[in-house]
Structures are given as C-alpha cells and as structure tokens.
Amino acid sequence: MTMTSSRPYIFRAIYDWIVDNGLTPYILVNAAASGAHVPQEFVDGGRIVLNIGPRAVHQWRQDNNTLSFSARFNGQSRDISIPLRAVLAIYARENGKGMVFDKEEPEPESPTPEEKSKASSKARRPSLQIVK
C-alpha cells in the first residue's frame, strides 16, 4: 500500500515546535525546482533561505503540496509559492536546530493490469492459527 509523503506532516510539526519555543523558523529552498516562485535576485547557488516566522509573512497557506505566503523583500511585498518537495531544510535561526529533508523517492508507477491479475491470483485468504 502506498502512502502519501510524510514531508508536509513533519514540516508542520517542526515549524510549530520552533514557533512554540519562541524562535524564528527559516527554510532552505531549492529555487530551481519546478513550481518554486521566489525572488530570483536573492537566490544564491540555486538556493534561497527564507524567514517564515509569523511576524515575517502574511497570508500563510500550507497544504500537503505547497507553501504560499506574502513577504517583504527590500520593502516590496512579494507573493511566494513553494512546492514542499523543494524545501530542503527547516531550522531555527537562533540555534540551527531543525531538520534537513531527504530527497524524496519518485512516486511508484501504477501496476499494469497484467501485474494486478498476477498479484490477485497469488493473494491468500487470511486465516487464524491457535498458538499454545
């Protein structure tokens, strides 16, 4: 059985942990990732570090695929959108504690109808066994 990515759940937990401890959450983002909309003039080596603390961002939205918010850069408000798969790390600015995310494996391909029929023919009926 395939499961959804754990990244959005872990991200939310670490974000809450950092904020609950009165620290400032920062993220390291792969700015070259498809769907990443960040201010390119602040990108260094294909990556950008962003302050995502509650006082630094507005209109914060997070779902299981994307972070989006508005933030100020050199006094100008900018809309930011980042796929969660592009977030490389989340950490507290003050002490560096947080998490670096592993590169996620690509989604497994759906089995072909032939593979499905082979798997169903091999499926065994569950049974209970008495153990003494």
* Mean residue pLDDT across the chain: 87
CATH number at residue 29: 2.30.30.220
Predicted pLDDT of residue 110 = 47
Q: Is 22 inside any structural domain?
A: yes
Q: Is 125 inside any structural domain?
A: no
Predicted pLDDT of residue 111 = 53
Range of the domain at 80: 7-104
Q: How confident is the model at residue 129 (pLDDT cuts 50, 70, 90)?
A: low
Predicted pLDDT of residue 107 = 44
Amino acid at 119: A
Per-residue DSSP letter, 44: B
Global confidence as pTM:
0.76
Q: Is 110 inside any structural domain?
A: no
96-126 burial, b at 16+ Cβ within 10 Å, e below that, comes to eebeebeeeeeeeeeeeeeeeeeeeeeeeee
Q: Is 66 inside any structural domain?
A: yes
Measured CA to CA, the distance from residue 21 to residue 4 in angstroms comes to: 29
22-56 burial, b at 16+ Cβ within 10 Å, e below that, comes to ebbbbbbbbbeeeebebeeeebeeeebebebbeee
* pLDDT surpassing 60 at residue 70: yes
Question: What total number of domains does the chain contain?
Answer: 1
